[in-house]
């Protein structure tokens, strides 16, 4: 069935411009050797074999992987016991994505040399590529059994166990690594993190302090220590941790912002404002500052920490559209809508954030039940820049909500003309055309939306339901709706559409099955209830149909008179 009541939705997508910082992965103490450079137990034995292998390596470097494989297999025929060649073939198969073949080559090595740690490590890498995590763990564990000094295997195992939140196993691995390599700052770093996670902050602190001694230039252990000091309310140590980071990385935004906030909280307003002013000035050229604020401080419970910084930064960089947009997002996140709108209004028309700011203002006014202000905002934006298609789209949606469908059609058609490759514009135009009873136009618009994005579930469903509603192209309708259902398998409206196709085909038992499932997912939609009632009637269950017709009538249906006639007919049987 169609999306009957699409809420006005203006995305916050540009907020993602601020995001993207990844988690810290400490640089290993010893560079992890790539498998292709590990030639520990087997070498080419003859000049002829060496020449073939050299040619294979050359072909591989040129990207001629099939030729390289043929050459290596030819060399293996002359030396079938060569571990070196089997390892090369396994690596080549891994590179070619022939993972099962790669496993076979490694097993051929292990069958003859079961204690070959290199082979077990390579097997682990292949299982990782196959997303067979348990098998990978087993292979890496075996590698360190046969080569307890193999540091790269400890790193991989520790990472895998940490990713699985298996801190007990990670702790075992990093403890063994620290025992064998006491200078491994990676081992101590993760042992510190694990101890903190276990609630043993004193042990965690000692491990992390050891990291700062082993690798004095690293800032990551200081961030972890800052977390401990913040958790244990040790303000002076927290200050020193942030200062240590800034000393090593003077432009580190997260540390500067955190240090400034701490200074403000402890009454050192002058120093706090100095830091905030610096950040504000730097933010004009460094979007990373805004990323950090979005990532760390937009949550309501942390906003109280950020507000003094934000206020000072806005004073210093009052002309920064990016900062005003960020402030709008921040105020919106803590439900201070009026202040959010005030900030969005200060985003300049020449800013890349201007379209997003307009969309947020419109959305907030709609949320605040002030559609007139939303409309005025869009109209003013169009006056300032009539070439932004989204503005015409927003205006069309507002006009659609007002029931001014002809004007809505014109506005959305303008958006389509400005950006004909936007499937959502075609979809919305199709909805409005359908409301104007222009079925042919609606069908054409939906087809265009699907041509642009074949995986647009709303357009697939809408077109399929339109066919079903008209009683035409029912096989095509079923195909379209099935495609939509694959994309949104638990969508009650799409399931209703599929049920209605079966109803129109006369397959009433199947129709009833889907329609009742749709009712269970969307119990308050009058059209779905009416569809299910119609199916009960076809199954000769008038009492069950009557019950659903009555429920549908309570839910403000589009055509209450038609429902009343159905109910009256059943009550007077």
Instruction: State if pTM tops 0.75.
Output: no
The C-alpha torsion from 516 through 522 and 524 to 525, rounded to 10°, is -80
Is 228 part of a structural domain of the chain? no
Tens of pLDDT, residue by residue over 372-409, are: 999 999 999 999 899 999 999 999 999 999 999 999 99
Q: Is residue 112 scored above 60 in pLDDT?
A: yes
Q: How many CB atoms lie within 10 A of CB 174?
A: 28
- Predicted confidence band at 34 (pLDDT cuts at 50, 70, 90)? very low
Q: What is the pLDDT of residue 35?
A: 38
Q: What is the pLDDT of residue 528?
A: 97
Is 148 part of a structural domain of the chain? yes
Residue for token pair 């490759």: 421
- Predicted confidence band at 334 (pLDDT cuts at 50, 70, 90)? confident
CA separation, residue 82 to residues 85, 367, 421 (Å): 5, 71, 57
The secondary structure of 538-551 as a DSSP string is HTT-HHHHHHHHHH
Range picked from 34-48, 300-314, 412-426 for highest mean pLDDT:
412-426
Q: Is residue 320 scored above 50 in pLDDT?
A: yes
Residue among 487, 446, 570, 484 nearest 496 (CA): 484
CA separation for the pair 71, 60 (Å, rounded): 10
Residue among 535, 571, 532 nearest 555 (CA): 532
Mean pLDDT of the chain: 87
Is 94 part of a structural domain of the chain? yes
Percent of the chain with pLDDT over 70: 89
HSE toward the beta carbon, residue 506, CA cutoff 13 A: 0
- Domain extent for 100: 27-160
DSSP annotation of 165: T
Q: Where are the alpha helices (DSSP H) in 147-287?
A: 151-163, 167-180, 185-197, 201-214, 220-231, 235-248, 253-265, 269-283
Give the CATH number, domain containing residue 51.
Answer: 1.25.40.10
Q: Is residue 457 scored above 80 in pLDDT?
A: yes
Contact 464, 484 (CB under 8 A): yes
Is 118 part of a structural domain of the chain? yes
CA separation for the pair 514, 497 (Å, rounded): 9
First CA to last CA across the chain, in angstroms? Answer: 31
Number of domains within the chain: 1
DSSP annotation of 38: -
Tens of pLDDT, residue by residue over 83-109, are: 888 998 998 889 889 999 999 999 999
Contact 283, 321 (CB under 8 A): no
| Mean pLDDT computed over 547-555 | 96
Is 457 part of a structural domain of the chain? no
Angle CA(300)–CA(301)–CA(304) in degrees, nearest 5? 85
The residues near 554 (Cβ < 8 Å, ≥ 6 apart) are none
Q: What is the pLDDT of residue 47?
A: 64
- Phi, psi for 122 (deg, rounded to 5): -65, -40
């Amino acid at each position: 069935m169609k999306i009957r009541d699409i809420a006005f939705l203006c995305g916050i997508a540009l907020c993602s411009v601020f995001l993207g910082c990844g988690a810290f992965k400490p640089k290993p103490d010893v560079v992890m050797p790539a498998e292709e450079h590990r030639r520990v137990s087997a070498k080419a034995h003859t000049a002829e074999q060496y020449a073939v292998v050299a040619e294979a390596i050359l072909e591989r470097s040129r990207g001629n992987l099939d030729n390289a494989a043929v050459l290596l297999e030819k060399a293996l025929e002359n030396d079938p016991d060569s571990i070196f060649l089997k390892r090369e073939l396994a690596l080549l198969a891994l590179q070619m994505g022939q993972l099962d073949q790669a496993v076979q080559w490694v097993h051929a090595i292990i069958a003859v040399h079961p204690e070959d740690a290199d082979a077990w490590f390579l097997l682990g890498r292949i299982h990782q590529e196959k997303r067979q995590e348990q098998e990978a763990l087993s292979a890496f564990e075996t590698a360190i059994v046969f080569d307890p000094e193999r540091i790269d295997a400890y790193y991989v195992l520790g990472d895998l166990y940490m990713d699985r939140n298996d801190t007990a196993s990670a702790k075992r691995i990093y403890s063994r690594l620290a025992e064998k390599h006491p200078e491994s700052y990676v081992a101590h770093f993760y042992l510190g993190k694990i101890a903190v996670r276990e609630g043993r902050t004193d042990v965690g602190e000692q491990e992390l302090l050891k990291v700062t001694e082993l690798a004095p230039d690293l800032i990551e252990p200081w961030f972890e220590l800052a977390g401990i000091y913040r958790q244990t309310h040790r303000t002076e140590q927290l200050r020193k941790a942030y200062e240590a980071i800034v000393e090593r990385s003077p432009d580190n935004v997260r540390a500067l912002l955190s240090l400034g906030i701490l200074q403000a909280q402890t009454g050192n307003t002058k120093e706090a404002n100095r830091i905030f002013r610096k950040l504000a000035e730097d933010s004009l050229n460094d979007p990373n500052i805004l990323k950090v604020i979005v990532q760390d401080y937009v949550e309501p419970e942390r906003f109280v920490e950020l507000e003094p910084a934000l206020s000072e930064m806005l004073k210093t960089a009052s002309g920064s559209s990016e900062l005003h947009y960020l402030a709008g997002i921040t105020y919106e996140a803590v439900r201070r809508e009026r202040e959010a709108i005030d900030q969005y209004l200060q985003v300049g028309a020449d800013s890349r954030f201007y379209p997003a700011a307009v969309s947020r203002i419109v959305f907030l006014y709609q949320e605040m039940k002030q559609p007139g202000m939303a409309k005025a905002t869009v109209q003013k934006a169009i006056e300032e820049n009539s070439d932004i298609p989204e503005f015409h789209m927003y205006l069309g949606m507002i006009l659609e909500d007002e029931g001014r469908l002809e004007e809505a059609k014109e506005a959305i058609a303008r958006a389509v003309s400005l950006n004909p490759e936007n499937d959502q514009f075609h979809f919305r135009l199709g909805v409005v055309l359908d409301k104007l009873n222009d079925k042919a136009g609606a069908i054409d618009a939906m087809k265009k939306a699907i041509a642009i994005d074949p995986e647009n579930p709303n357009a697939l469903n809408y077109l399929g339901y339109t066919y079903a509603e008209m009683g035409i192209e029912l096989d095509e309708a079923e195909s379209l709706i099935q495609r939509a259902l694959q994309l949104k398998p638990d969508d009650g409206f799409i399931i209703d559409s599929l049920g209605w196709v079966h109803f129109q085909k006369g397959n009433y038992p199947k129709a009833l099955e889907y329609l009742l499932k749709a009712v269970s997912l969307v119990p308050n939609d009058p059209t779905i209830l009416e569809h299910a009632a119609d199916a009960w009637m076809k199954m000769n269950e008038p009492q069950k149909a009557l019950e659903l017709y009555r429920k549908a009538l309570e839910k403000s249906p589009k055509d209450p008179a038609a429902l009343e006639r159905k109910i009256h007919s059943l009550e007077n049987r």
